[in-house]
């Protein structure tokens, strides 16, 4: 009888030890998992590109540069334990890619571009424990932060530069698609041109896509043929066609003065052309949309526990969310143009003028 009781007692002790051991093992695994504990307790972040791709030399690329800068600052490496991206080949990939990153348990997942608005809404509703951010659109859900920019402020400065650089008094604007964000680029540009000379006319044309370089080149060709000598694009990958056409024309006729203005990131590298063995550049400047700064800033906020879910964060000149790249050294009146650009920049930052963001606001805009 005693032996039986002792055996039962020993079994209970062993069972309890097994349970406690199992609990301890489970805890050890969780601590060493990708989302917490001693092995890796780092904030992870990823993004989904739109159809332009991560190397579009524009919007998506700028966002990726921001993630890489955030990763470097926080000792993260590319991959599921640090920072990463998924590239979309078509809009059908948006939801799939967002869902995949959420399931990989990234702390924050970005959808880059207004085209992702529907997909972000869908996946954020399904993955309520995950945090998302969208650039260039507003999604009103508690687990989504919306990043918006005052593109019109940057393009206003580009308009000032274009109006002071033109010799033919003919300027062009190439838009990707007729949507609110590109409308802000166009409106700001037109206001900037008008602030210098209200009699200048701007030829405005839209390509209907952000990934059709051949269409951008065709539009640019017609504009330059009509006497336009400065063209600003807000068309993503489509705008690469503008640079191709401008380089070709400069190569054929080195004496011809023509310029292209880039967008989102500093696109100076796209303007390099060899003329009689000498390197020239046809990019006058670029209207900067600092997606990189915004992505890095929001990632830092989220990492520090200050994720602005359900809010819209607006980045303008004052917040260093937009700006203008240095002027081309080859423009003959560079210092004079830059001085005027800086004067307008200060007026905008100080609130002396409010740059119009819509066509209706443009109608009543008067530069001081």
pLDDT of residue 9 exceeding 50:
no
Q: Tell whether 32 is covered by a domain.
A: no
Q: What is the pLDDT of residue 165?
A: 98
CB 345 within 8 A of CB 158: no
Write the pLDDT tens digit of every residue in 259-291: 999 998 899 999 999 988 899 999 999 999 999
Angstrom distance (rounded) from CA 341 to CA 258: 20
Write the pLDDT tens digit of every residue in 41-96: 789 999 999 988 898 877 899 999 999 999 999 999 999 999 999 999 999 999 99
Q: What is the pLDDT of residue 367?
A: 80
Q: Tell whether 28 is covered by a domain.
A: no
CB-CB neighbours of 18 under 10 Å = 10
209 and 351, same domain (yes or no): yes
Last residue of one domain, picked from the residues 252, 280, 300: 300
Q: Tell whether 209 is covered by a domain.
A: yes
Q: Burial, 13: exposed, middle or buried (Cβ in 10 Å; 0-12, 13-18, 19+)?
A: exposed
148's enclosing H/E stretch is strand 144-149
Angstrom distance (rounded) from CA 335 to CA 332: 8
- State the residue range of the domain holding 246: 151-288+332-363
CB 232 within 8 A of CB 212: no
315's enclosing H/E stretch is strand 312-315
Last residue of one domain, picked from the residues 279, 300, 321: 300
130 and 266, same domain (yes or no): no
pTM of the model: 0.79
157 and 133, same domain (yes or no): no
84 and 229, same domain (yes or no): no
145 and 158, same domain (yes or no): no
337 and 233, same domain (yes or no): yes
73 and 165, same domain (yes or no): no
Q: What is the pLDDT of residue 51?
A: 86
Query: What is the chain's length?
Result: 368
pLDDT of residue 220 exceeding 60:
yes
122 and 226, same domain (yes or no): no
CB 294 within 8 A of CB 147: yes
Angstrom distance (rounded) from CA 179 to CA 18: 63
Q: What is the pLDDT of residue 368?
A: 67
Angstrom distance (rounded) from CA 201 to CA 196: 12
Q: Tell whether 102 is covered by a domain.
A: yes
CATH number for the domain harbouring residue 278:
3.40.50.2300
228 and 180, same domain (yes or no): yes
Write the pLDDT tens digit of every residue in 134-164: 999 999 999 999 999 999 999 999 999 999 9
Contacts for 329 with CB less than 8 Å, ≥ 6 apart: none
């Amino acid at each position: 009888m005693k032996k039986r009781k002792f055996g039962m007692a020993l079994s209970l002790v062993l069972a309890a030890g097994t349970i406690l051991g199992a609990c301890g093992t489970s805890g050890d695994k969780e601590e060493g998992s990708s989302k917490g504990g001693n092995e890796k307790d780092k904030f992870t972040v990823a993004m989904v590109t739109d159809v332009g791709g991560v190397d579009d030399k524009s919007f998506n690329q700028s966002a990726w540069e921001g993630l890489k800068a955030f990763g470097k600052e926080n000792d993260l490496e590319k991959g599921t334990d640090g920072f990463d991206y998924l590239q979309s080949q078509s809009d059908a990939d948006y939801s799939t890619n967002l869902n995949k990153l959420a399931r990989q348990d990234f702390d924050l997942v970005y959808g880059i571009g207004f085209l992702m608005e529907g997909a972000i809404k869908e996946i954020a509703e399904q993955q309520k424990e995950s945090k998302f951010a969208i650039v260039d659109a507003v999604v009103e859900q508690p687990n989504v932060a919306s990043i918006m920019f005052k593109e019109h402020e940057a393009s206003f400065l580009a308009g000032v530069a274009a109006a002071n650089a033109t010799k033919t008094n003919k300027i062009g604007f190439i838009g990707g698609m007729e949507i609110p964000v590109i409308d802000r680029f166009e409106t700001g540009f037109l206001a900037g041109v008008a602030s210098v000379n209200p009699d200048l006319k701007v030829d405005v044309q839209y390509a209907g896509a952000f990934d059709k370089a051949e269409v951008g080149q065709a539009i640019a060709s017609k504009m330059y043929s009509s006497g336009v000598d400065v063209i600003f694009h807000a068309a993503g990958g489509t705008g690469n066609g503008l640079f191709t056409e401008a380089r070709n024309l400069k190569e054929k006729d080195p004496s011809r003065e023509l310029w292209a203005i880039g967008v989102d990131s500093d696109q100076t590298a796209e303007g390099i052309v060899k003329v009689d063995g000498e390197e020239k550049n046809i990019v006058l400047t670029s209207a900067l949309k600092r997606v990189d700064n915004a992505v890095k800033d929001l990632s830092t906020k989220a990492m520090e526990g200050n994720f602005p879910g359900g809010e819209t964060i607006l980045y303008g000149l004052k917040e260093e969310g937009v700006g203008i790249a240095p002027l081309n050294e080859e423009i003959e009146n560079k210092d004079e143009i830059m001085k005027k650009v800086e004067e307008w920049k200060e007026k905008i930052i100080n609130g002396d003028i409010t740059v119009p963001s819509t066509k209706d606001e443009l109608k009543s805009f008067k530069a001081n």
